[in-house]
Amino acid sequence: MTSPTRRTLSEAESKRRLAAHGVAFLDEHEAADVDEAVAAATKIDGPVVVKLCGDRIAHKTERGLVRLGLDGDDAVATAATGLLAAATPDDGDVSLLVAPMVKGTRELIAGVATDPQFGPTVLLGVGGVLAEAVGDAVVRLAPLTRVDAEDMIDGLATQALLGEFRGEPAVDRGALVAVLLGLSDAVAADPTITAIDLNPLIVVDGRPVAVDALVEVVDVEAEAATAATAPAPTVRPRPTVEAMRALFDPEGVVVAGASTHPGKFGFVSLHNILAAGYEGRVAATNRDGASVLGIDTVPDLSDLPDGVADLVFVCTPASANPDLLRAAAAKGVRAAFLTSAGYGEAGPEGEAAQAELVALCDELGILLAGPNGQGVVSTPSKLCAQIVAPYPPAGRIAIASQSGNFVSSFMNLAVATGVGVSRAVSAGNAAAVTVADYLDHFASDPETSVGLAYVEGVADGRAFVERLRPVAAAQPLVLLKGGATAGGQRAAASHTGSMATDDKVFDGACRQLGITRAASVEDAFEAAATFATQPLPRGPRTVVMTTAGGWGVVCADAISRSDLVLAPLPDDLRAAIDEHLPPRWSRNNPVDLAGGETRDTIPTVLELIARHDDVDAVIYLGLGIQANQARLMRDGGFHPDHGLDRIVDYHERQDARFARAAAEVSDATGKPILCATELAVADPANPGPATVRETGRLCYPSADRAVRALEHLWHRARHLGRTGG
**The predicted structure's pLDDT at residue 488:** 35
Domain identity same for 127 and 196:
yes
Of 368, 509, 356, 487, the closest CA to residue 428 belongs to 368
**The predicted structure's pLDDT at residue 1:** 44
Domain identity same for 686 and 568:
yes
**The predicted structure's pLDDT at residue 686:** 97
**The predicted structure's pLDDT at residue 484:** 64
Domain identity same for 207 and 249:
no
Q: How sure is the predictor about 292, in pLDDT bands with cuts at 50, 70 and 90?
A: very high
* CA within 13 Å, CB half, 356: 14
pLDDT at 719 over 70: yes
Q: How far apart are CA 487 and CA 151, in angstroms?
A: 27
Please check whether residue 37 is in contact with residue 50, taking contact to mean a CB–CB distance below 8 angstroms.
yes
Q: Which helix (H) or strand (E) holds 193?
A: strand 193-204
Domain identity same for 215 and 246:
no
How far from 267 is each of 94, 247, 389, 504, CA to CA, in Å?
A: 75, 20, 13, 44
Domains contained in the chain, number: 5
Q: For the residues 501-509, what does the mean pLDDT come to?
A: 86
**The predicted structure's pLDDT at residue 227:** 54
Q: How far apart are CA 256 and CA 286, in angstroms?
A: 7
pTM > 0.75: yes or no: yes
Q: What are phi and psi of 589, to 5 degrees?
A: -105, 120
Domain identity same for 343 and 453:
no
* CATH code for position 560: 3.40.50.261
* CATH code for position 267: 3.40.50.720
Higher-confidence position of 165 and 665 = 665
**The predicted structure's pLDDT at residue 598:** 79
- Residue 7 maps to a domain: no
- Residue 489 maps to a domain: yes
pLDDT digit string, tens, across residues 541-554: 999 999 988 999 99
pLDDT at 495 over 70: no
Q: What is the SS3 assignment for 259?
A: coil
**The predicted structure's pLDDT at residue 101:** 95
- Residue 10 maps to a domain: no
Q: For the residues 71-89, what does the mean pLDDT come to?
A: 96
Domain identity same for 289 and 354:
yes
Please check whether residue 104 is in contact with residue 202, taking contact to mean a CB–CB distance below 8 angstroms.
yes
Domain identity same for 476 and 330:
no
Residue 114 pairs in a beta bridge with 120
Domain identity same for 120 and 189:
yes
Of 317, 305, 304, the closest CA to residue 343 belongs to 317
Domain identity same for 193 and 295:
no
